[in-house]
Amino acid sequence: MASSFTVRQIPAVLARRQPRVLGTTRRLASSSAVQTQNPAYPLYPSVIQLLHEKGIPDSEFSKIPASGPKGRLLKGDVLAYLGSIPADYPATQQARFDKLAHLDLSNIKIAAPPKPAEPQPVAEEPVARPPPTTSVAVSISLATVLSVQKKIQETLGVNVPLATFLARATDLANDDLPRSSREKQSADELFDEVLGAKPIQTSRGDYVPELNAVEAPSAVQPAKPVKEDIIDILSGKVSKAVPRPSVVEAPAGSAANVFSLTVPVEEEKRARVFLDRVKALLTVEPGRLVL
């Protein structure tokens, strides 16, 4: 089929078609310079899933520019190829990561040496003063204890030391003493009160009394008058000696033994209850302490 262009129109037609040829040549040159997926490495699983979700056929995988390490295809490359993100976004982020991978210490300056601290006045610590104390004492006779001790020795042939009686009485007397106002409640007791339990009014003590023995004075009995016989009077054998009073020693254990405690003023009632219990245990059937 013969062309309808004249000889004069041919240069004009060629001039109009020349930009298209140049544009095609540029696209081919640019596409040949773009790096695609390196065939030496497989695609990432996340990239394969994204390609399948977007419906990109396998034949177009090699057309997508790759900006990953060692020429591998990234998800950002696929999104840039589809136009979901800017085309230069993967390259921009890669450059940003490369820059942040190197630690920049150019802005670091040596800190100025600290100024010497000014001496501050030393505050005097308050001296904790001990609470005021009081002494509580009770006189207890150990005659009953010594009697029980002697009976045990004669009956069983066992010598129970006096210290055993005192230790047992002290241990029992420390049980369930009235609670001191200085004693704080434990966490378990506070929790029980929250649940509706009654507050505990007693607690175990740790008192150890001091024993001071006071010797009982010996009893002095007046001298009995000597009856004079009438025969002695007539015979002149009456003695003029003055009768002397007789001294009777107190039996063992009858001496007054003072049990005392030195406690804070707030615990005076508690200490007195303790000493009263010790007295009752040592004077009323002390044999139960060891038998």
* Residue 94 shares a structural domain with residue 142: no
Residue 141 binned pLDDT confidence (cut-offs 50, 70, 90): confident
Q: Residue 19 pLDDT > 70, yes or no?
A: no
pLDDT band at residue 223 under the 50/70/90 scheme:
low
Question: Is a pLDDT exceeding 60 seen at residue 247?
Answer: no
The mean of the pLDDT values for the chain is 76
Residues 164, 271 share a domain: yes
- The per-residue pLDDT for 238 is 52
Same domain, 172 and 285: yes
* For residues 181-198, average pLDDT: 83
Q: SS3 of 101, please? A: coil
116 is a domain residue: no
Distance CA 133, CA 138 (A): 17
Residue 210 lies in a domain: yes
Residues 260 and 199 in one domain: yes
Give 94-131 pLDDT, tens digit per residue: 788 888 888 777 888 888 888 888 888 887 777 778 88
**Cα-based torsion angle of the residue sequence 163, 172, 206, 273 in order, rounded to the nearest 10 degrees:** -110
Last residue of a domain, one of 83, 101, 119: 101
pLDDT in tens, 52-74: 888 888 888 888 888 877 888 88
Do the domain assignments include residue 280? yes
In terms of domains, do 71 and 150 share one? no
- Domain region containing 89: 35-101
Residue 230 lies in a domain: no
> Of 247, 271, 241, whose CA–CA distance to 259 is shortest?
271
pTM: 0.47
Domains contained in the chain, number: 2
